[in-house]
Structures are given as C-alpha cells and as structure tokens.
Chain A
C-alpha cells in the first residue's frame, strides 16, 4: 500500500517530476563523466604534467562533490515542496509520522536510484561524445581514454547513494517533526528584514573590503606564494556573502524609495519579490557566484593554455622550420610550406672539433640569436645578429646556437666555430653540408607540413643530435602538457556550469509553488498577462544576473593568479565569456519557461 501511494505520488505530478528527474540525470551524468577522467590514472599521467594533474583533478572532484551535494539537496527541497500538501493530507487522514517518513524515504530513494542509473548510462554517452570532441579539438592523446570506465561507475553510484540517503533522511526528519499546519503554510511568511540600516551599511563596507582583500591576494601571488589561495578563497566567500546580504537589499530599498520608479506597473511587486527572496537566497547566490567564477575561470584558463601552445612554441624557437642537407623529398615537402617570409641556406663543414662556415653567407644573412626573458621565451622579436664580426661579443652562447642548427656535433663545449672565405672553404677537406632556415608568416597553418618535414628529417638522420630542438618538436611537447591542462579546464568549466545553473534553477522552481497564489491574485486584480510575464522575467533575470555579474568580476581579478603560468591570461578572453554567457542564458530561459508554466497555469 505504502509503495503504491509513493509511486502514485510520482505519477500524479509527472511534469514536475520530469524536471526534477532530468536535473538529477544531468548531475549524475556529469559526475560520472568527470569521474571517468579523474579516476583514470593512466589517462591523466599520459596527458598532463603527472602529479600536478592528479592534484588538479582531485581538487576538481572535491568541488564537484560539494556542488553535487548542494544540488541534490535543492532538488530534494523541490521534491518536498511538491509533495508537502499530499503528505499533510495523509497525516490529516491519520497516517502516522513514521509511515510518512517511510513514504518519503521510499520515494526519495526510488527517484535517486533511477535517476543515477539513467544518469550513468547518459554519462557514458556524454563522455564518449564530449570527451572525444574535446580530445579532437585539443589534439590530446586519446590513449587510455574510454567512455565506459568501471571504477567511475562504482564511484558515481556510491556517491549518489550516500547523498540520497542523507537527503531522504533529512526530508523524512523534516516532515515528521513539523506540525501539519506549518507544513501547509511554510515559506509563505516573508522574513521582514529588520536589520538596521547602519548595520547594512557596515556589512556593505566589510563586504566590499573583503572582496578587495581577496582580489589583492590573487594579484599578489608572486609575493604571497601559496598562501594567496586560502586568503583569496576565504575573503571572496565572505565578501560575496555580505555583498548579497546587504548591498543588494540596500539597492532595492533605494529603488523602492524612488516612487517615480517604483510606482509603475508591477515594479514595486517585482522589487519586493526580489527583496523577499534575496535573504533566503544569499547563501546560494554567493555560492553560485563563486562557482560561476570557478567554471568560467577554468574555461578561460583552459582556453588560455590552448591558445598559448603555438605562442610558447613560437617564442621558444627562432626559426619555424630548419632542414638539413636537403634531398629531393625534403625539397618537395618544403615547397608545400605557405607564407614563407625568408628562406636561407647555409653551408658548413665539420672536421673533428672544428666547424667551418662561409663568412659571406653570414654577412648577407646573419643567423638570429634571440634575447630571452626569465621564462626562456623570446621577448618581442628582439634578436642579436650572429656574423663573423659579432661572434666575439658572446662567443660561447653564439656557438651553442649555431651548433644547435647543424647536424653531427654533440660536444658543445669543445667545438670551435670558424668563419672562412669561400675559396678557403672549398679547399678544406670534408664533405660540405647544408642547413636551410625558414621563417613563416604563420606556423600554425603549416603544422601539417612541418610535421611531415620533421618526420622526414628524423628518417634522414636517425641518430642525429637534432631531435627536440625544432619548433615542431617544441609544439608537440607543449601540446601534451598544456593540452592536458586545457582539457581539464574545459571539462571542469562545463561540469560546474551545468551544475550551478541547475542548482539555481531548482532553488527558484522550488519556490514557484508558493508564488502561484500571488500571481493568481494579481491576475484577478486585472494585471495584464504581459506585465506578469515581465515581472517574472525581471525577477529571475536579477536572480540569475547578480551572481553571474559578480562571478565575472571574480574571474577578471582571479586571472591575475595565472600570470605566473600564462603569458597573457587575458588574451582571447571574449570567446569563453560569450560561450559561457550563452549557455547560462539558455538555463535562464528554461527556468523562466518552467516557472511561468508552474505559476501561470490555471
């Protein structure tokens, strides 16, 4: 009988349950997707900087667990808000508290298990799709990556079971402790904000102050070292909380006092709705703003890493392509290079520890020696020219640079570079060899050709000392390292975004049931449908917009943090921001749609 009651409860409100259900499915699918990567040690170590990656993934997993937990508890309160009246009716009919608790328990667990199971199946599909798309996009090695990963399934199931167990216990206790009448009317009573204005102002000042401290800590990572992270985290959490608790309320009250603004259409009602909500929303809004920042930050940094792969390669090596003693195949391959700015061939002979170059070749086209900054990157195309005359200026470094370019010399220290005239060069014993340098307009577009040339060079000189010094090699190494980081950034970012937006969505939808009466009342009073919709849209826009705006500010300051890792963390910032806002907007629109369906439907 009890099971039947519980199941019929689900049947009766199928639409609302579909919302709840799809949300839970999404969250468990994302959780699985993340776990499939995070717990797959061979995939991580294969791709990113070993132990560092593990820490990042662990950190990500903990964050994901926290947000999943918050998410499930909101989803649960949504569930409870839907069923409250039914439960109260059962109680009025004489059902015992323990029976009701049992009922809630069965219902919550049933929903939890089903959603998790479906979510894992969806997660396998999602992992295959999204994971592979990201892998292709970033050119990360897909070795060891598999959509179906058994330990991840176990982890996901176990985690969700625990979360749902806790949630259903909390639900059951909540229901059985409260008097029936309170259950029927809870949440309808507004908590009038009785905080004194002066205290609110104080909160505002402290809030903005701690945000400033947090932002400063992130910008001063070089001085503060590792302690910057906890300082920033604590200060920003406190700052966000106080900001929502006080600043928004102060602003709304100021708006309400401006009667010319407030006394138009439903504005006063909309403002009050927001005011009414803000208090119970302070927690979730500050959480969302921080998660928003983390998600957006992860994606921005991920993109930053990806964008800097060619830049780091570009700034690490002077010449885009260098070939040695070209054969017909090399010539064929180099002819395919596009946008060649400069192509110079140098001739040399190696005799023991002596290397000979022709001085006219160097006078005509000096080899460029880059000036490097503290990170070993070439700073702003600043080069010194290596010519027979300038050689004495920095003999050791210059000769190392030249030895890097030629084939067949491994002893850097004892090799001597000589510049001779063309005639004396031809009289020297030994076979003349050549190397050809290419400077290209855009290395990135020539990636395929560069790879082919590199492979051919490796074939021509299998035991050479050239390996690892070309731009292409540099590019490939960075791809493995930074690509892995970028992959993680995207992944974490998307996962957080999906979760946080749906958390907010559920928090709002959970309250929708109580708002029904208000909108019905306004409709009766003769409020136009369009005005009602406007009011709903602006209210939700504020609830969605505020944490997003604060989140964006968090990110803008937070990127300071990555100055130690990235050349310019702010480069190409628009793309992730726009993509992120579009996804977030879609969540907003879905929430508006669902909310309108709930409150306007009668």
Chain B
C-alpha cells in the first residue's frame, strides 16, 4: 500500500488570549500523521482541545506554532483565496449539525463544491449521481434538506463532502445528532468508503461506538495526545471494549 501521508502535524500549539492578558493554552505540542487510506479517530472529552485541533486541521483556525501539512502542502502558509481554494479542493467536511444550505435541493447542495471549481455541468451530473448511489440517497436528490430525515441529511452532507474527491474527510461528531440506527448506517457507509474507495478519514468524536469504526484512535487530553490504540485484527466488539477500558483509565 502506498504510504503517502495526507495529514502531518508537527508540534502544534495553540494559545488563546493576547500576550498581556490571561492566556489559555488549548494545544500543547501535538504531533501525529495520517496516512492515505487510513481511518483515524480522535477522542477526547469536552475541553480536551479536540475541536481546536480539528479547526486547525481543517484550516479554519491557525496554530500559534508548529506546522500542519495536508497532502504535502503547509496550510499554515496559505492565505485568503489560496486558503479557500485549498479548502474547497482538498478537504471534505461533515459536521454534527449537517450544515446543509436549506435553500438548495440535495442535488444542488452536493454539486456546490464542483460548481465552485467550475466543473462543467456535463461532468457534474454523473459525479453527483454516482456519489449519491454510493451513499444511498438517489431517491431524495430533488428534495430540500427540510424535507428529509436527519440521517438522510447527514448522508447528503457526506456526499457533498466527498463529491470532489478530497484528500481527506474530516468528521466533527457526524453522528452527534442522529438516532442510533441512522448513526450505524452512516458509520457503516464511512467504513465502506474507507475500505473500498480508500477515502482517508479523520473522525473527531467523544462517542466510543463511533470511534470503534476507526482503525487507529488517538486520545487527546488537556491539549496533548496521550495514548494511541490500534485495532489491528481485533473484532469491532473487542476494540470497542478496549476503548471503554482506555477511556476509564484515561479520564483519571
């Protein structure tokens, strides 16, 4: 397997607050790598710094020090339009609250990243159809987000995040607003995407069940990466148990 690295982050720190004011260090030197085709979970409690980490990874925020490389590009050096273009071509997002544009139909929502890159309509249509098929949402393509269920919304969001073949898919608690069945369905789909289409996924969550879908889990606490778990050949059930045990000791 090609061991190309899609995410490399090195000694990243993030400090909030101005110099002469009360400062708070959210990240205290975080380093890790995600290889192409990996499914990595990042776990941590509220306030552990995982949201800050995801914001920096997804180029929505900048680190105070350290470097962040995505697909070999140092994103900390990008600005303005370059940054926007990078985001729209290299990164896919799924958020807890779906973040769909409710004035657009599912089809239009999914097509948006391609329209932004000025892909011709002829090419857009088959791409949207194919990703919709992968995610099982062909039948609702012409519905508006308000007319479909939460699970379907998140699938639309996932389709939108993947339609332009980004280097990496970031998920920020994507199952957070879903019922357990929809959540399982979404996670199964994500696993399928990862295994069959080699989509690199980085999933941030505090839910052990979601995390158990990952191949590798990084635990973050007080702005630092603590333990790391690898699933290897273990069954998902065993891995889940291992995560629970780890969480139990990790919280102390």
CB distance from A204 to the nearest CB of B (A): 23
10 contacts between A and B (CB under 8 A): A190-B102, A263-B115, A263-B120, A268-B104, A269-B104, A269-B112, A521-B99, A524-B60, A525-B113, A529-B80
Complex alpha-carbon distance, A521 and B115, angstroms: 16
A sample of 20 more A-B contacts (CB under 8 A), given A269-B103, A276-B103, A528-B80, is: A189-B146, A190-B103, A259-B121, A262-B121, A263-B120, A264-B115, A265-B115, A266-B115, A268-B111, A269-B108, A272-B101, A272-B104, A272-B108, A273-B103, A521-B101, A524-B87, A526-B86, A526-B113, A526-B116, A527-B84
Task: Check B147 against A524 for contact (C-beta < 8 Å).
Answer: no
CB distance from B127 to the nearest CB of A (A): 11
Task: Check A192 against B121 for contact (C-beta < 8 Å).
Answer: no
Within 8 A of A (CB), among B90-118: 91, 93, 99, 101-104, 108, 111-116, 118
* Residue in chain A with minimal CB distance to B89: A526
Tell me if B144 counts as interface (CB < 8 A to partner A). yes
CB distance from A260 to the nearest CB of B (A): 6
Question: Which of B101, B108, B113, B144 has the most chain A CB within a 10 Å cutoff?
Answer: B101
What interface size band does chain B fall in? 35 or more
Complex alpha-carbon distance, A268 and B116, angstroms: 10
Task: Check A265 against B84 for contact (C-beta < 8 Å).
Answer: no
Partner of A190, one of B58, B99, B144: B144
* Residue in chain B with minimal CB distance to A274: B103
Interface residues of chain A, those whose CB is within 8 Å of chain B, are 188-190, 192, 259-260, 262-269, 272-273, 275-276, 517-518, 521-531
Ranked nearest first, the 4 interchain pairs of A and B with the lowest CB-CB distance are A526-B88, A526-B87, A259-B121, A276-B103
Within 8 A of A (CB), among B112-155: 112-116, 118-121, 124-125, 144, 146-147
**Given the known A-B contacts A188-B102, A190-B102, A268-B104, are A529 and B81 also in contact in the complex, defined by CB atoms under 8 Å?**
yes
| Binding site secondary structure of chain A | helix
Within 8 A of A (CB), among B132-183: 144, 146-147, 160
Complex alpha-carbon distance, A17 and B21, angstroms: 30
| Binding site secondary structure of chain B | helix
Tell me if B188 counts as interface (CB < 8 A to partner A). no
Number of A-B contacts (CB under 8 A): 90
Complex alpha-carbon distance, A525 and B157, angstroms: 11
Tell me if B246 counts as interface (CB < 8 A to partner A). no
CB distance from A211 to the nearest CB of B (A): 29
Interface residues of chain B, those whose CB is within 8 Å of chain A, are 58, 60, 80-81, 83-89, 91, 93, 99, 101-104, 108, 111-116, 118-121, 124-125, 144, 146-147, 160
CB distance from B163 to the nearest CB of A (A): 11
Task: Check B103 against A272 for contact (C-beta < 8 Å).
Answer: yes
- Which A residues touch B160, using CB under 8 A? 525
Task: Check B93 against A190 for contact (C-beta < 8 Å).
Answer: no
Task: Check A192 against B147 for contact (C-beta < 8 Å).
Answer: yes
Partner of A525, one of B87, B104, B111, B118: B87
CB distance from B91 to the nearest CB of A (A): 7
* Residue in chain A with minimal CB distance to B123: A263
Complex alpha-carbon distance, A265 and B113, angstroms: 9
Partner of B116, one of A192, A272, A521, A531: A531
Task: Check A268 against B102 for contact (C-beta < 8 Å).
Answer: no
CB distance from B104 to the nearest CB of A (A): 5
Partner of A264, one of B86, B91, B108, B118: B118
